[in-house]
Chain A
């Protein structure tokens, strides 16, 4: 069959092109634009080249924030993934209790970020918060506004509370898709509970777990609202994660150039890590978990 050449067909992709331009390309290019210029106000801009990028790469502040960010994401992944899988394994597989568990677990996922932040901000307060007050009454020193460790524990526990359900729900979906014959075969082969998990459940869950890990990584790496509401990045800079620092720089100090350079590098880091995750995991999948 001969191909029909009709250049007017380009018009058909115009709507998509416009949509993507306005939703992604133009905003991104504005940031790129800021990152290579400097301004002294009055809407006058001067060419700055890669100066901001060089400055940000030398900035101890950014490296510190990146370090804290990586630590935060690593900790929540290490807690949420096994915990989510554990919950999924122990959930009722069918019947009314199964539905009940699913609904209960979905609830935290439906709460807006800043509300979650506010809940935990109040919950952890030593004067009026149930958690803070109780711990204080038990003689445990806990004050997330002054103690770095307490602040970290608070934001991590909050994130675990908010998002473990997502991992659990995805893992549960993976578990539900395993045909009964596998469990029956395992029974006949006298496989131990651990062997069933290791050789049947885990490999079959791998696909959805990958998605869960990727989602949780990206989300946690970009987290802003909840820790901002609870600790505001403090005490000091102890919980100033990347996006909190970025907002401080861009809106607090109005350093648009460095902030834009920062944003672009931030974006590239997320892209890079997600890509690495994805490649490693798909390779694992090909080799069979």
Chain B
């Protein structure tokens, strides 16, 4: 049995071991491979950068805990950028599992760093069920959909929410999501109310949204951990996404190698079978 035949019958656990090594090693011996910024990330960064002081941005936490490796760094870079520019933030989530608590935890942690005050500089509206009704309803009145914030404080008692009645008072929507809700932020909110929408999505979802960028329906896109790393680079604040990129690159090289080996093994096997016949 030659090498290529052995590959055919290789125990898959050897591949898992190779994957584990190629992910762990870059954290112990970082190579710091360069990350370049794609036009889509630059577009999102510029859209936020060009917002005037004291603008109001709606930031969404539309993701489940299972994807925080990709999405939480996006929320953090968004919060860094927005707080740094003194932009006021209204956070919402349409995801019940994890979304509300992550919005609360991450936003308060970042707000503390920048000395921002709850109710004045930022508000967390939390979760409401039935996202289509929520997205449409906020176009008429946010208070009708969210009579209270995430911690049950009436919106009338929060100074920031006295200025925010519906999408007309929102200058930009920064969606961070890991599911199909992004379609509705575009097809309902952007299309019906004209509020510009920029998105950070998981890598699995990203290819779909290039068409929306080209059509001008979306202002900028962050695709997965790479997108978050690019934004960290633009902000000059390397964090978890940047440190993860070495492992990401090494893993991609490994997968390319495995795909090539698998294909060569297949063709060699087919040739040998042809000779025998």
> Is B one of A's binding partners?
no
